[in-house]
Structure 1
Amino acid sequence: MTKRPHIIIFNPDEMRADAQAHLGNPAAVTPHLDEFARTDAVSFSNAYCQNPVCVPSRCSFFTGLYPHVRGHRTMSYLLHPGETTMLQELKEAGYYVWMNDRNDLTAGQIPGWTESHASEIHYGGQKPQGPGPVNPGLRGEPGSKDYYSHFEGQLKVDAEGKNYNADDEAVDAAIDRIRNRPADQPLCIFLGLMFPHVPYRVEEPYFSAIDRSKLPPRIRLEECSGKSKAIEMIHGYVGMDAYTEKDWDELRAVYLGMCMKVDEQFGRLVQALKDEGIYDDCAIFFLSDHGDFTGDYGLPEKAQNTFEDCLTRVPFLVKPPKGVELDPGVSDSLVELVDFYATAMDFSGVTPSHTHFGRSLRPVLADRKASVRSFVCCEGGRMPGESHCDEYHRNGKNGASPSIVYWPKMRTQADDQGHEKGIMIRTDRYKYICRPIGRDELYDLASDPGERTNRIDDPDCAGIVTELRCKMLKWLEATADIVPYTGDSRFTPEMLWARVRGLVPPDKEAEVRAMIRDGVPFPTIMGYCRELHGEN
C-alpha cells in the first residue's frame, strides 16, 4: 500500500483572507504564509466558509456537509453520535490523531464522544500565561466608545520579553508530538488556535510591527445602502460612532498584529516538520473558520447571518505531499471549506464513511487556473420563533446582560429580522443573499467589491436575481439531505420468523432463526424455507 501522508491542519479562528500580504494587503506582515504560498502551496484567494461563526463552520468543513443538511447552524448544536468527522475517520483508518482542546466541533456533554475523535488530546493551562493589557481599564463604563469594541490594545510582556498564551502552548505541544511521533502510524495534527479572535490585543513586537499608514481604506457604513437589518442593529447597539479613523486604524493594526503572530507560529510548526525530515511527507492545510469585520461597516467582531467578504472569505492554503502535482502560488478559483474535507480524505487514501459535498482540489493544485466550482454558498441565521437558536435567549428568561461584551450581537439575535435566516450564493461576479423574511441583497462585485450598494430592487438586475435564485434552488435540492450508507431492516426478527414459520420443519427452526439473526437477506431465507416445505 502507498505510504499515507501526514495530515497537518493549522486552524486560526476569525482570520480574514485579506490579512495576508500575498493577497494584496500592504499593511499585513505574514512572511511565512507568503513564502509557503510562493514555493510549496496553493493559496486560494476566493475560499469561502459555509457559515460565518465557528461551530457551524467547523461542523461543516470537518464533515464535508453544509450546515443545513443536519441543522448545524447555531453555536449550541455540535456534532452528536451517529455523525462522524474526518478526524474520527482518519483515526479509525490507522492515523494517530492529535488535537488540542480547542473544540467547537463535538458535543462536550456526551461522555467519551469528543475523545473518540482523537488518539490524544492536549489540554492546555499547564504553563503560566502571559500578562494582561498595558491599559486594563480601556473598556470603560457603559456608554464609552470602547465598551463593546472588543479592543484591549497592547499586551504586556514578561521578563523574557514575551507574552506566552494558550496558542503558544498548543503550538509547542504539537511540535513536541511531531518530534516524538509514533514510529508506525501516520500523524494527523489538528491545531485549533484562538488568535486572531477577539479581544483585539497583542504584544510587542507585533503591536508596533504594523505600519498604520499602509492600512487599506475601511468600508464605511455611511457609504452603504440596503445593508441587512443585522448590520444596522448591531451598529446601533455597539455605540462606536465616537470612534475616529485613527481609533479604527489602531484596532485594525492590532488585529493584523495578531495575524502576524499566527504567521510566526505557523512558521515554527513548518520548521519543526522540516527539522524532523517529514515536511515532504505532509499534506498541510492552513484555513480559518470565518473572518472578522475589523472596522468594516463600522463594526467589530462578526455576525451570524451576514455574508460580507470580510466574514466569509477566509485564508485557505494547501500543500500536497511530495509526488502530487503542484503549481504553487495564488489561485482565484472559487472554493469552499467543505473542499478541505474532500482534499484531505483524498490525500490520506481513506474512503469517506458518508455522502459529502466537498470536491478534491487536486486539479487546482496541479493548475491554479483550473476550476472545481462555478459558485460558492454560505448560510446562517434562524427562522422566526427559533429562540433556542440564538445566544440572547439561551442566557435565561431575561436574556443576556448588557454588561457582556457580546451583548450588541446577542441582543440583535433576539429580533426575528435582525437574526433572519439567509443563504448566500456567490459567483465570480455577483453575490446574492436570499432570506425567507426581511431584506434580500444583491451586489455586483465587479463594480462594487466592498458590497456597499444593494441592487436587489434594481430592475436592470432582475434577470440576474432570477438566475441566481434558480442556481440556489438546485443547490438546495441537491444537498438537502444525505442517506446513510448502512441500511435498516423493515422488520424485527420475530416479524420475519412469523412470515416463514409455517414453512419450516421443527428440526430446522434453530437454523432458520440463526439465518434471520445473522442478517441473511429475507428473499434468500424465504427461498430456502420454501425448499424445506417442498415448494419449487
Structure 2
Amino acid sequence: MADADTRPNVLLVLTDQERYDCTAPDGPPVETPTMDRLSSEGLRFSRAFTPISICSSARASLLTGQFPHGHGMLNNCHEDDAIQPNLPTGIPTFSEILDANGYDCTYTGKWHVGRDQTPETFGFAYLGGSDKHHDDIDDAFREYREERGVPLGEVDLEEELYTGDDPRDSSEGTFVSATTSIDVEETRAWFLAERTIEAIDRHADGDGSPFFHRADFYGPHHPYVVPEPYASMYDPDEIEPPDSYAETYDGKPQVHENYLHYRGVDGFDWDLWAEAIAKYWGFVTLIDDQFERVLEALEEHGFDDETAVVHASDHGDFVGAHRQFNKGPLAYDDTYHIPMQVRWPGVTEPGSVCEQPVHLHDLAPTFLEMADAEIPETFDARSLVPVIENGGDVPDGLEWPDSIFAQYHGDEFGLYSQRMVRTDRYKYVYNSPGIDELYDLAADPAELQNLIDHPDYAGVRREMRERLVDWMDRTDDPNREWVPDVLADS
C-alpha cells in the first residue's frame, strides 16, 4: 500500500484592495475576529508589501513569482490601454506546478489576470463567482441573485456617494459607497464563501490528494456597498482623520495633486470621507465574517489540522488617506503595505510575528516548497517557509534582504514609470516624469514631508538610490540601463 500523502492542503484567501492597518494590532477599530484569530493561531507578517499597487499586475506577480517588469502585465488587463491583455505563454506559474505535482487546485471569485485567460488556463478548476466588469467568466452569481428575486442592478440603494462635483449625483463620477437593501445572503461575499465551502465539500469527497483552493473576494474594493448590519456598524462621526489627511502636496510630484482632480475627489470634505471609510470598514467586517464560515467548513471536515490557511491582499486602498481615492502613481504605504497571515498547524508558532520585509509574490515559491515541488529559476521571489518554520525569524546562516522593491507603470491615465525601495526606516521613490521622493518613516510615518533635497539626508538619499539600483540589477529591470546615470549625485 502506498504511503499517504502528508503534504498540507492550502487555502489562500485573497482580498481585493484591503489596507494593512485594518487587521494591525494598533490599527483602527475594525472588527476582524477571523483574521485576528488567524494571527493568534499562526504567524502575522508585519512588513508585507505588494510589488505593485494595481490589480492585474499584482495578481500576475502572485501567480508567476515575478515582479511586473518580468511577466509584462504592467497595468490592468481589462482597460482599453492594457499593455498586455494576457500573460505571455510559457511563464511558469505556481498553480500549474502544483497541479503537475498532484494537487487538486480549485478557484472561486475574482480573477483579473487576462481577458482571454481564466484560472483554468493555469491549472485550476474554476468554480464560479466572477464579476462582469473584470472577468465575466460565468453567470453563477447573476443566476443566484435572480433565483433570490433580487437581480443585479435592481436593488434599492441609500446614502449613495459618487466622485465629481455633486457627490450625490449618480449620473457622473465613480461610485464610491452606499447602503444596499439586500440581505447578507445575497451579497457576492456570502456567495463566494458558499462556493468555497462547496469546494471544500468536494475535496472531502475526493481521492485524498492534497488540495489548493484559492478564494478571491471582490472587496473591500470600491464601491463600498454593504447591507445592514454592516452599513451602520461604524459611526462616521466617531472616525478621526488619519495623520496623512493633512497632506498639502508641497514638495511632492505634481502628479499627486493632479490625481486628486483626476479621481474627482478634490471637493470631498472630511464628512464625505468619514462616510466612505465607515462603509469600507463595514465591507472588511462583512468579508471577515464570510471567512469565518469557510474556516468552519474546514473544521467540519477535519481539514483544519492539515491545511495551511493564508490570507493576504493584492494591494491596499487610500480611502481618504492623503485625501486620495483608490490608488495610482503614489507609492505610499496606504496602498503598498498589505496584510498577510499564515496558519500552518504544527509548523507556525501561535501568535508569532515576522518583522522581516516580504513581498506578496513570495507566496508563489512558498506554496511550492510546502508542496515539495521545485521552484523555477524564473521566480524573482523567495520562499517564506524558513521564517515560517522559525517563528518569524530568519534562521542562522540564511541571508535575507532588509528592504523591499516595488514599482508602478500606469493605469487609466497613461504610462508613468516609478520605482520604490523601502527599508524599515526610509523610503525612496524614483519618479521618471517628476521629482523623486524620500521619507523618514520613523520621524514622519504619514509620509508628509519629502526630504529628497534636504541636505541632512544627502547620505541617506545616496544609500537608498544604491539600494534601488541593486534591486533593479538583481531583477533584470530594463530601466537599469539608464536610471543609475539619472540618479547619480553630483
TM superposition score normalised by structure 2: 0.84
Instruction: Please say which of residues 163-172 and 366-375 is displaced more in the overlay.
Output: 366-375
Correspondence for 1:64: 65
Q: Does 1:420 align with 2:416?
A: yes
Per the TM alignment, residue 189 of structure 1 is displaced from its structure 2 partner at its CA by 0.5
Task: Work out the CA distance in 1 between the residues paired with 2:161 and 2:236.
Answer: 20
Correspondence for 2:18: 15
Residue deviations 1:475-529 (CA, integer Å, cap 9, x gap): 11111179xxxxxxxxxxxxxxxxxxxxxxxxxxxxxxxxxxxxxxxxxxxxxxx
Secondary structure in structure 2 of the residue aligned to 1:80: coil
- Within 5 Å, which residues of 2 pair with 1:79-94? 79-94=87-102
Q: Does 1:202 align with 2:208?
A: no
Per the TM alignment, residue 344 of structure 1 is displaced from its structure 2 partner at its CA by 1.4
Q: 1:318 aligns with which of 342, 346, 350?
A: 342
Residue deviations 1:439-475 (CA, integer Å, cap 9, x gap): 1100000011011111111111111111111111111
Q: Which amino acid in structure 2 is aligned with residue 186 of structure 1?
A: P
Secondary structure in structure 1 of the residue aligned to 2:316: coil
Q: 2:108 aligns with which of 87, 92, 100?
A: 100
Secondary structure in structure 1 of the residue aligned to 2:257: helix
Q: Number of residues paired by the alignment?
A: 440
Q: Which amino acid in structure 2 is aligned with residue 436 of structure 1?
A: S
Secondary structure in structure 1 of the residue aligned to 2:157: coil
Asked whether the 8 Å contact 1:327–1:368 carries over to 2, the reply is no
Secondary structure in structure 2 of the residue aligned to 1:99: strand
Q: 1:309 aligns with which of 333, 352, 357?
A: 333
Q: 2:32 aligns with which of 20, 30, 33?
A: 30
Structure with more strand by fraction:
2
Asked whether the 8 Å contact 2:57–2:74 carries over to 1, the reply is yes
Task: Work out the CA distance in 1 between the residues paired with 2:14 and 2:213.
Answer: 10
Name structure 2 gaps, 5 residues minimum: 78-83, 129-137, 479-490
Correspondence for 2:482: none
Task: Work out the CA distance in 1 between the residues paired with 2:379 and 2:333.
Answer: 25
Residue deviations 1:369-413 (CA, integer Å, cap 9, x gap): 44843001110125xxxxxxx5xxxxxxxxxxxxxxxxxxx3xx2
Task: Work out the CA distance in 2 between the residues paired with 1:442 and 1:226.
Answer: 11
- Within 5 Å, which residues of 2 pair with 1:82-481? 82-105=90-113, 107-109=114-116, 114-122=120-128, 123=138, 124-125=140-141, 126-128=143-145, 132-135=155-158, 138-139=161-162, 143-145=165-167, 147-148=172-173, 150-157=175-182, 161-162=183-184, 164-181=186-203, 182-212=206-236, 214-218=238-242, 219-220=244-245, 222-303=247-328, 305-320=329-344, 322-365=345-388, 366-370=390-394, 372-381=400-409, 390=411, 410=412, 413-414=413-414, 419-480=415-476
Per the TM alignment, residue 134 of structure 1 is displaced from its structure 2 partner at its CA by 2.6
Residue deviations 1:168-220 (CA, integer Å, cap 9, x gap): 22221111121121123211101111111111221111112224455343222
Task: Work out the CA distance in 1 between the residues paired with 2:312 and 2:288.
Answer: 12
Instruction: Please say which of residues 354-363 and 250-259 is displaced more in the overlay.
Output: 354-363
Per the TM alignment, residue 359 of structure 1 is displaced from its structure 2 partner at its CA by 1.9
Asked whether the 8 Å contact 1:9–1:284 carries over to 2, the reply is yes
Structure 1 residues 378 and 68: alpha-carbon distance in aligned structure 2, compared to 1, 3 A threshold: same
Task: Work out the CA distance in 2 between the residues paired with 1:471 and 1:19.
Answer: 30
Asked whether the 8 Å contact 1:81–1:113 carries over to 2, the reply is no
Task: Work out the CA distance in 2 between the residues paired with 1:470 and 1:481.
Answer: 14
Secondary structure in structure 2 of the residue aligned to 1:287: strand
Asked whether the 8 Å contact 1:228–1:306 carries over to 2, the reply is no
Structure 1 residues 255 and 355: alpha-carbon distance in aligned structure 2, compared to 1, 3 A threshold: same
TM superposition score normalised by structure 1: 0.77
Asked whether the 8 Å contact 1:5–1:281 carries over to 2, the reply is yes
Per the TM alignment, residue 71 of structure 1 is displaced from its structure 2 partner at its CA by 2.3
Task: Work out the CA distance in 2 between the residues paired with 1:214 and 1:328.
Answer: 30
Per the TM alignment, residue 362 of structure 1 is displaced from its structure 2 partner at its CA by 2.8
Q: Which amino acid in structure 2 is aligned with residue 83 of structure 1?
A: I
Q: Which amino acid in structure 2 is aligned with residue 128 of structure 1?
A: R
Provide the alpha-carbon RMSD of the alignment: 2.4
Asked whether the 8 Å contact 2:8–2:308 carries over to 1, the reply is yes
Secondary structure in structure 2 of the residue aligned to 1:471: helix
Name structure 1 gaps, 5 residues minimum: 383-389, 391-409, 483-536
* Identical-residue share of aligned pairs (%): 27
Residue deviations 1:83-106 (CA, integer Å, cap 9, x gap): 13211111111111111252222x
Task: Work out the CA distance in 2 between the residues paired with 1:452 and 1:138.
Answer: 27
Structure 1 residues 133 and 339: alpha-carbon distance in aligned structure 2, compared to 1, 3 A threshold: farther
Task: Work out the CA distance in 2 between the residues paired with 1:94 and 1:211.
Answer: 49
Asked whether the 8 Å contact 2:39–2:350 carries over to 1, the reply is no
Q: Does 1:49 align with 2:55?
A: no
Secondary structure in structure 1 of the residue aligned to 2:47: strand
Task: Work out the CA distance in 1 between the residues paired with 2:247 and 2:330.
Answer: 17
Q: Which amino acid in structure 2 is aligned with residue 18 of structure 1?
A: D
